[in-house]
Homo-oligomer: A and B are copies of this chain.
Amino acid sequence: MESNRPLILITNDDGIHARGITHLINTALKFGDVVAVAPDMPQSGKSSAITVNAPLTVSTHAPIGEARIYSVNGTPVDCVKLGIHAVLDRKPDLLLSGINHGSNAAVNNIYSGTMGAAMEGCLLGIPSIGYSLLDHSPDANFEPLTSFIEEITHKILCNGLPKGICLNVNFPSDCTPRGLKTVRAAKGRWTEEYADYTTPHGTPFYWLTGKFLNEEPGNTETDEYWLSQKYGTIVPIQPDQTASDRISEIAEILKR
């Protein structure tokens, strides 16, 4: 059955059964034909990882409203690549990733599977947006975000995005956002990164944890600042990490 409605591909990194992706699917159904292709299991922290040395399969799930739902035994980027190869019959008009249970603001963009998927869409020439809520809990309340996600999704469907740019959108938890701010990622780093344990047999082992240290807490140019003020934040992201304006400086350092 042909459709003239926009085709929207949805994925995430918390897996096909997460509450956040269900909310995003239901929100996106107002704007077009929706197909979700998401990991069969949680894939937090998978960044832009791809499955190189194992076979991938696609499983079909019960529809959500009129949305077609599939899962893949791989990473968020695998879902985007394989969704386009094996599920969709044409290139999608929009890719939405999320809604992630947890922050992808500041440096978290680089570790985020949610943003890995959005950057993959961008590399494939699809306008792509990652949505995240600053609440890790499985039963996080996504309802207050609906009108903001509708607004952003509508604008990007109508206007598109510049080539090579996708969006990393984060929302504060436990409130209706006061508004939206288009800003840059705050500079900072993770500290106290591991909890230390010992096995019953005396061997040390480690579990990732950590606190994010914001290196510029009062800076109104940054996402972390506006999230702390209960605004939603939109950061334009470029998957191409070449520091184009530093090439001559680096060439100079290598000549010294």
Contact = CB atoms under 8 A, between A and B. Distances in A.
A29 interface: no
A111 interface: yes
Given A47-B47, A243-B236, A55 B197 contact: yes
B107 A123 contact: yes
Pick from A50, A51, A165, A183 the residue with the most CB of B within 10 Å: A50
Interface stretch (A2-10, A63-71, A138-146, A152-160): A152-160
B161 A111 contact: no
Nearest to A107: B123
Interface stretch (A19-27, A30-38, A93-101, A204-212): A204-212
Contacts of A187: 240
Judged by DSSP, the binding face of A is mixed
Contacts of A250: 161-162, 165, 167, 182, 234, 236
Nearest to A194: B85
B246 A242 contact: no
A57 B204 CA distance: 7
A31 B55 CA distance: 42
B182 A251 contact: yes
B194 A253 contact: no
Contacts of A158: 256
A53 B207 CA distance: 8
B56 A45 contact: no
Given A81-B194, A110-B239, A51 B256 contact: no
A245 to B, nearest CB: 9
Interface in A200-255: 203-208, 234-244, 246-251, 253-254
14 contacts: A44-B52, A45-B49, A47-B47, A47-B49, A81-B208, A85-B193, A85-B206, A86-B206, A107-B123, A110-B239, A155-B256, A161-B250, A234-B251, A236-B246
